[in-house]
Chain A
Amino acid sequence: MEQFYLGLVKSWTRYGNSYLLGARNTLLISLVGTFFGCLIGFAVGVLRTLPISPKDKWQKRFLNRLLNIFLSTYVELFRGTPMIVQSVFIYYGARIAFNLSMSMWTAAFFIVSINTGAYMAETVRGGILSVDQGQTEGAKALGMNHSQTMFLVLLPQAFRNIIPQIGNNFIVNIKDTSVLSVISITDLFFVHKSVVGSLYLYFESATITMVIYLTMTTTAAWALRHLEGRLDGPQHYDLAAIDTLAQTSGLLSYKAKGEVGHD
């Protein structure tokens, strides 16, 4: 046991900064990836819920169909393959197939974003579809077009319901970015492997790494719950003092019935 403590101390005193740097990189990739993933997810979710009616021209219906096929292929492709394989495929594939040399950082951000996007796309679509139909009818009956209905009524409500899923994806990303070490991203897991390579203290380094991951994920979970609470606003409302504005603002313009004439 004593040896274990010594090992911990040794790993940490020698490589503490490297661990922290790795943790920072892990957080950075997860944050950026989750952020862009959400943007992609929202865009795809909104596009996949575009309404088409038989009234629309065939060109429009055709394009919509094409778009839907393209987007669902994207979703299935990235949800259906492991991120570790995607990383290798994209990072090396871009070089060989397109002679495009991505920096590994660009590749990392790209892979995590596009992966999160695929998951978020379905979440957002589900979130939009699960908003009560009455909300859409209320908006339409006022005279809103589809994009006003979407952005002013449906998305804000869907967004509130999706936040837990965003948090979930962020936490998954913190853990899953560890696979990016296959393209030599110096994330937390990569640091762990390097430390082990030089000190041979497997268990000790793994312990430190576990603790750091756990700290990051629980902090993220806590922060998200806090954000949810903030978004829900106060549980109570204050009665407003009778509004004097209302009394001075214009008069009701409907003509009295008597003036309208009788039959």
Chain B
Amino acid sequence: MSQSILKISHLQKSFGQNHVLKDLDFSVRRGNVISIIGSSGSGKSTLLRCINLLETPDSGSIIYQNKDVLKASNSEVNAYRTRVGMVFQNFNLFSHLTVLKNCTLGLTSILKIKKDEAEKRASFYLQKVEMSAFVNAKPHQLSGGQKQRVAIARALAMEPEILLFDEPTSALDPQMVGEVLAVMSQLALEGLTMLVVTHEMAFAKEVSDEIIFMKDGIIWEQGKPNQLMQNPQRPETSEFLTRFRQC
């Protein structure tokens, strides 16, 4: 059994009266791909945003390298974020910078890597997502699928230990979903540790090592893709899955 690199315990988060995450526990093992599924409003995004501290959880712990990141100082949090990257539904590419600069900015400013070294590394990852030809383009000149691939390259260039994806294909036209999922499958094959919130059931089933089903801020069921999808243990899971197949 490979070691767990991220351990989340008793995670709670409320927005005012709205109790969004209710005592979540799970851990992420090195090289694993975990897909998080569940209906809208179940707290999937909030969970990911809590993991990289874009939202501050109310209580619980997130243990990374034997340290609770919820008790970390600001600079420790920043260092942690360089190790746990994030890809957003809406890409969040820096709109004033070219594709190449988007990928080098973090390297030069945060990791203090020299410019030419950073450009080499960025080019390498841009090639991985097949966006090398677009280094001089600005984000607004790209299609959604291209933007998302650049966003993935930007996150990869930091060479994180874990990459979080929050519905990376939900803002894309159907014909562009495939190109992004292909990149993600490739990364999974190469052994990148990934936590993916997705509505792409086929992707979740094929690529993940584990699937987490969330409902109302609770992990309702967690298991191997085949088992969870074909033989769900809880009625709520099968209800979600049948509803999903219908639409």
- A-to-B contact residues, CB < 8 Å: 53, 55, 132, 134-135, 137-145, 148, 152-153, 156-157, 160, 233, 236-243, 245-247, 249-250, 252-257, 259-263
- The answer to whether the Cβ of B246 comes within 8 Å of any Cβ in the partner chain is no
Assess the A143–B141 pair: CB atoms within 8 A: no
B172 CB to nearest A CB, Å: 16
Assess the B135–A240 pair: CB atoms within 8 A: yes
In the assembly, what is the distance between CA of A241 and CA of B189, in Å?
28
Among A245, A246, A250, A261, which residue has the most Cβ atoms of chain B within 10 A? A246
A218 CB to nearest B CB, Å: 29
A152 CB to nearest B CB, Å: 6
User: Which of B17-25, B85-93, B211-219, B228-236 sits within the interface?
Assistant: B85-93
- The answer to whether the Cβ of B1 comes within 8 Å of any Cβ in the partner chain is yes
Given contacts A142-B110, A247-B127, A263-B1, contact A237 B94 (CB under 8 A): no
Given contacts A138-B93, A144-B110, A250-B121, contact A152 B191 (CB under 8 A): no
In the assembly, what is the distance between CA of A132 and CA of B91, in Å?
12
In the assembly, what is the distance between CA of A123 and CA of B241, in Å?
51
In the assembly, what is the distance between CA of A259 and CA of B158, in Å?
23
Question: Size of chain B's interface in residues, with CB distance under 8 A?
Answer: 57
Assess the B31–A260 pair: CB atoms within 8 A: yes
Assess the B110–A143 pair: CB atoms within 8 A: yes
Contacting residues, chain A, for B85 (C-beta < 8 A)? 141-142
The residue that B86 contacts in the complex, of A141, A245, A256, with Cβ under 8 A, is A141
Contacting residues, chain B, for A242 (C-beta < 8 A)? 127, 132-133
Contacting residues, chain A, for B135 (C-beta < 8 A)? 240, 243
Contacting residues, chain A, for B158 (C-beta < 8 A)? 142-143
Assess the B134–A237 pair: CB atoms within 8 A: yes
Assess the B126–A246 pair: CB atoms within 8 A: yes
In the assembly, what is the distance between CA of A137 and CA of B79, in Å?
15
Contacting residues, chain A, for B90 (C-beta < 8 A)? 134
In the assembly, what is the distance between CA of A142 and CA of B56, in Å?
17
Give the residue name and chain of the A residue nearest to B138 (CB). A237
Contacting residues, chain B, for A256 (C-beta < 8 A)? 189-191
The dominant DSSP class at the A interface is: loop
B153 CB to nearest A CB, Å: 11
In the assembly, what is the distance between CA of A255 and CA of B126, in Å?
20
Assess the A156–B96 pair: CB atoms within 8 A: yes
16 inter-chain pairs at a CB distance below 8 angstroms, sorted by A residue, are: A237-B138, A239-B134, A240-B135, A241-B133, A242-B132, A243-B132, A245-B120, A246-B120, A247-B127, A249-B123, A250-B121, A255-B31, A257-B31, A257-B190, A257-B191, A262-B1
Contacting residues, chain A, for B119 (C-beta < 8 A)? 245
The residue that A249 contacts in the complex, of B78, B109, B120, B134, with Cβ under 8 A, is B120
A191 CB to nearest B CB, Å: 43
Contacting residues, chain A, for B126 (C-beta < 8 A)? 243, 246
Assess the A135–B133 pair: CB atoms within 8 A: no
Assess the A260–B191 pair: CB atoms within 8 A: yes
Assess the A141–B54 pair: CB atoms within 8 A: yes
Give the residue name and chain of the B residue nearest to A260 (CB). B31
- The answer to whether the Cβ of B82 comes within 8 Å of any Cβ in the partner chain is yes
A241 CB to nearest B CB, Å: 8
Contacting residues, chain A, for B132 (C-beta < 8 A)? 240, 242-243, 246
- The answer to whether the Cβ of B192 comes within 8 Å of any Cβ in the partner chain is yes
Among B30, B119, B132, which residue has the most Cβ atoms of chain A within 10 A? B132
In the assembly, what is the distance between CA of A139 and CA of B225, in Å?
33
Contacting residues, chain A, for B44 (C-beta < 8 A)? none
In the assembly, what is the distance between CA of A142 and CA of B135, in Å?
19
Contacting residues, chain B, for A132 (C-beta < 8 A)? 95
A37 CB to nearest B CB, Å: 24
Assess the A135–B137 pair: CB atoms within 8 A: no
B122 CB to nearest A CB, Å: 9
B164 CB to nearest A CB, Å: 8
- The answer to whether the Cβ of B81 comes within 8 Å of any Cβ in the partner chain is yes
Given contacts A145-B78, A260-B30, contact A138 B120 (CB under 8 A): no
Contact string against A for B residues 63-99, beta-carbon threshold 8 Å, 1 for contact and 0 otherwise: 0000000000011001111100110101111111010
In the assembly, what is the distance between CA of A33 and CA of B56, in Å?
43
Give the residue name and chain of the A residue nearest to B33 (CB). A257
Assess the B78–A144 pair: CB atoms within 8 A: yes
In the assembly, what is the distance between CA of A148 and CA of B126, in Å?
23
- The answer to whether the Cβ of B175 comes within 8 Å of any Cβ in the partner chain is no
Give the residue name and chain of the A residue nearest to B117 (CB). A249
Contact string against A for B residues 118-151, beta-carbon threshold 8 Å, 1 for contact and 0 otherwise: 0111011011100011111110010000000001
